[in-house]
Amino acid sequence: MYSDRISGTVSQRILVVEDGEDFADLLRAMLESVGHEVQVAHNSLEALAFVENSIPDVAVIDIGLPGISGNGLARRLRSSSRTAHCRLVAMTGYGGPDALAETKAAGFDVHLVKPAEMGEILLSIGHDGRLTRTWEAFRGSSHAH
């Protein structure tokens, strides 16, 4: 993490692991709009290759990925000394008690059910209210056109 000296906000390196290209692009644009460095992987193998060279502060991971599931990816990230400290956010369509127990057991810090509000996503990656308000202002201005 590094601090933006002008605004006082904290920027993070975020890895988005999502097989839906449109949602991945939307999430990237939203996170970059509030100052984050974002990389996108469309499956777990791409994500594992990425973390060989760069360690994210946060990984937002879809559970229903092709091949290695998001839960499987979380277990691998937690078992590596390089990535064990990363904040892991599950982003999934599964919201029942079994799904919550599975993501917790896999090592996720947060479980969000799609469609999650953008403010909720920002808070889940460890943001304070200033960034949430910044996103809400951005979202409001984009709806005005």
Instruction: Sketch the domain layout of the chain as residue ranges.
Output: 10-132
Q: At what angle do helices 44-51 and 70-79 cross, to 10 degrees?
A: 20
Q: What was the pLDDT predicted at 142?
A: 42
CATH architecture of 10-132: 3-Layer(aba) Sandwich (3.40)
Q: What is the pTM (predicted TM-score) of this model?
A: 0.82
Helix (H) or strand (E) holding 91: strand 87-92
Task: Assess whether pLDDT exceeds 70 at residue 143.
Answer: no
Report CA 34 to chain centroid distance, whole Å: 14
CB atoms within 10 A of CB 91: 25
Q: Quote the tokens at residue 72.
A: 């499987």
CA distance 47 to 49: 5
- Strand, helix or coil at 24? helix
CA distance 54 to 112: 25
Q: What is the pLDDT of residues 62-118, one digit of tens each?
A: 999 999 999 999 999 999 999 999 999 999 998 889 999 999 999 999 999 988 888
Q: Rounded to whole angstroms, what are the CA distances from 29 to 24, 33, 35, 73, 105?
A: 9, 6, 10, 23, 30
